[in-house]
């Protein structure tokens, strides 16, 4: 056991004190024994017993010798400890190592147990467990944080039986999962044939020439449109400019385009090729468009009542139905209705039963209330239309609206390049069941829609009220065009037709004047272009548009 010098000195001092106390007790015992031999009545000192349960002089002497031997062992251990410390100090000085405190302490600076010591080799000696045998110090970290991670155990492949290596005998083999290594094939050099890139370049040059010609044609079409705009006034195309104040309706009767022909008798009034004859034209009377449809769908309108009068009639009708039901109940034709009990009138309706067992009554009342609510919801669900029924109902309403007459409106828009406004114009027309055409031209755009009266009125509100035509910002906040355009939508004309001119609603872009007229001629609506071309905003002043 390796002990510190302080521990050794303390043990030596304790052994000296115990030896002195034992010597004094032995001396006192001898004196009492001598005095007792003369008196015949021994009385031992306190703490020392006599014969028959007390220590004898021989036993005290043996204990004193044992203490002396222990003192000698302690002194020898002290001398050995001091010599070991001196040798360690010399070795540290020679090697330059840091001196180590010989005291063994725990984590809180507590000394090791007195039952544990170390031998010269530094091994632990646990006296109470190993009976003085040395135990080697552990060579691994005891704290969890200082321990090294254990190496992962590697899986060892066992010998695979031949049944599994053979695909025909292996029941788990899937030929679809077998990924055979791909063989790398040598790729030979591929040379381009002679003149390949020249032909590509010539094709690109031809496409550029076609684009350039297309742009020139478009510019020429815009120039023609500008010249045609100069010839338009008051909604009609200007005719040949006549001199001397000759009106255009008189020019057909004047060969020289002057009123002097009347004085000279050259006017074509009574000649054979004159437009004036003695015949009177009687036009065949025709019925107004959709007159037959109006007559078939005409129904007598009910008397218009105020809100107060309608409520009064409803009260009277419901009162009569309730009275009729009560009469049937009195006659036994119908079972009486169960009382409509609620939490508010539970005590008044049930009375004594609610007082005797209020918990059960309340639960029953809540169940009745929930049952009535569930029945109400189920009744509403039964009356609710399915998606197919709702679509059929909307289609039927549109057909009824169209059966009353086909109405058409013509709009003129300065700029319809904004994608959001295009979407609104197209989507609303399709949803309202309208047909027509949107003609996009370099100078302005024209919208023609036709359909039922109700749908036309809703579309008119969209075009003239709801859409802000001056707003050119996109959804992401960017401007569609940097140039500020005084964009607006004008209602050029509205009227009624006998039948539809279009089968669907679509957009058509016309770059040239010829292309535009060809498109309108296909639908037989060339006159719409003349009206829109000569229409000005001043023509709407003083006119009230009915919306």
Q: What is the pLDDT along the chain (547 residues), one digit of tens a residue?
A: 556 667 777 877 887 888 788 888 888 877 877 776 555 444 444 444 444 445 567 777 788 788 788 778 877 777 777 777 666 656 555 554 444 444 444 555 555 565 566 666 666 665 545 555 555 555 655 676 777 777 777 766 667 677 667 777 777 777 776 655 667 788 888 888 989 999 999 999 999 999 888 888 777 766 555 555 544 444 445 556 677 778 888 888 888 888 888 888 888 887 878 888 888 888 888 777 666 666 656 667 788 999 999 999 999 999 999 999 999 999 999 999 888 889 898 888 888 888 888 899 999 999 999 999 999 999 999 999 999 999 999 999 999 888 888 999 999 999 998 999 999 999 999 999 999 999 999 889 999 999 999 999 999 999 999 999 988 776 665 665 555 568 899 999 999 988 899 999 999 998 888 888 889 999 999 899 988 888 877 655 444 444 4
Pick from 545, 506, 537, 535: which is nearest to 523 by CA? 506
Helices (H), 121-180: 127-130, 162-165
Instruction: Please tell me the pTM assigned to this model.
Output: 0.45
Q: What is the largest CA-CA distance in the chain?
A: 206
Instruction: Decide if 119 contacts 125 (C-beta within 8 A).
Output: yes
CA distances from 133 to 118, 121, 124 (A): 10, 13, 9
- Residue 71's contacts (CB-CB under 8 Å, 6 or more residues apart) are 12, 15, 16, 19
d(CA 468, CA 487): 9
């Amino acid at each position: 056991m390796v002990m510190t010098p302080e521990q050794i000195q303390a043990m030596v001092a304790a052994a000296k004190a115990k030896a002195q106390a034992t010597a004094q007790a032995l001396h006192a015992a001898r004196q009492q024994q001598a005095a007792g031999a003369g008196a015949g009545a021994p009385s031992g000192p306190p703490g020392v017993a006599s014969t028959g349960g007390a220590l004898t002089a021989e036993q005290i002497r043996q204990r004193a010798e044992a203490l002396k031997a222990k003192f000698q062992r302690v002194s020898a251990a002290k001398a050995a400890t001091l010599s070991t410390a001196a040798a360690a100090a010399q070795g540290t000085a020679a090697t330059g190592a840091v001196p180590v405190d010989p005291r063994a302490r725990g984590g809180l600076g507590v000394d090791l147990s007195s039952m544990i010591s170390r031998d010269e080799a530094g091994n632990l000696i646990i006296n109470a467990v190993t009976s003085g045998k040395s135990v080697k110090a552990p060579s691994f970290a005891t704290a969890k944080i200082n321990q090294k991670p254990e190496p992962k155990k590697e899986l060892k492949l066992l010998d695979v039986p031949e049944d599994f290596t053979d695909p025909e005998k292996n029941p788990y083999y899937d030929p679809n999962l077998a990924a055979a290594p791909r063989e790398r094939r040598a790729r030979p050099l591929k040379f381009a044939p002679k003149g390949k890139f020249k032909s590509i370049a010539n094709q690109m040059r031809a496409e550029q020439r076609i684009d350039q010609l297309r742009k020139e044609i478009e510019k020429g079409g815009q120039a023609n449109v500008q010249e045609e705009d100069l010839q338009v006034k008051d909604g009609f195309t200007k005719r040949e400019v006549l001199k001397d104040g000759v009106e255009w309706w008189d020019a057909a009767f004047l060969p020289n385009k002057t009123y002097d022909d009347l004085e000279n008798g050259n006017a074509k009034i009574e000649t054979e090729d004159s437009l004036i004859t003695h015949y009177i034209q009687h036009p065949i009377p025709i019925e107004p468009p959709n007159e037959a449809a109006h007559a078939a769908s005409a129904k007598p309108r009910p008397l218009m009542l105020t809100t107060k009068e309608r409520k009064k009639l409803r009260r009277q009708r419901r009162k009569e139905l309730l009275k009729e039901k009560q009469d049937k109940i009195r006659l036994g034709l119908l079972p009486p209705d169960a009382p409509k009990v609620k939490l508010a009138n539970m005590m008044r309706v049930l009375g004594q039963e609610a007082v005797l067992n209020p918990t059960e009554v309340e639960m029953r009342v809540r169940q009745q209330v929930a049952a009535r609510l569930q029945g109400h919801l189920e009744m509403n669900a039964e009356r609710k239309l399915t998606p197919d029924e709702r679509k059929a109902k909307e289609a039927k309403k549109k057909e009824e609206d169209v059966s009353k007459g086909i109405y058409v409106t013509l709009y003129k828009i300065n700029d319809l390049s904004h994608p959001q406004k295009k979407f609104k114009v197209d989507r609303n027309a399709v949803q309202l069941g309208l047909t027509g055409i949107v003609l996009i031209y370099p100078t302005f755009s024209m919208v023609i829609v036709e359909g039922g009266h109700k749908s036309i009125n809703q579309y008119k509100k969209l075009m003239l009220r709801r859409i802000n035509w001056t707003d050119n910002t996109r959804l992401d906040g960017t401007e569609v065009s940097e140039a500020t355009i005084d964009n607006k939508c004008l209602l050029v004309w509205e009227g009624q037709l006998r039948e539809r001119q279009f089968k669907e609603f679509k957009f058509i872009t016309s770059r040239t004047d010829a292309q535009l007229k060809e498109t309108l001629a296909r639908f037989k609506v060339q006159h719409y272009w003349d009206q829109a071309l000569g229409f000005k905003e001043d023509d709407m002043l003083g006119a009230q548009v009915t919306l």
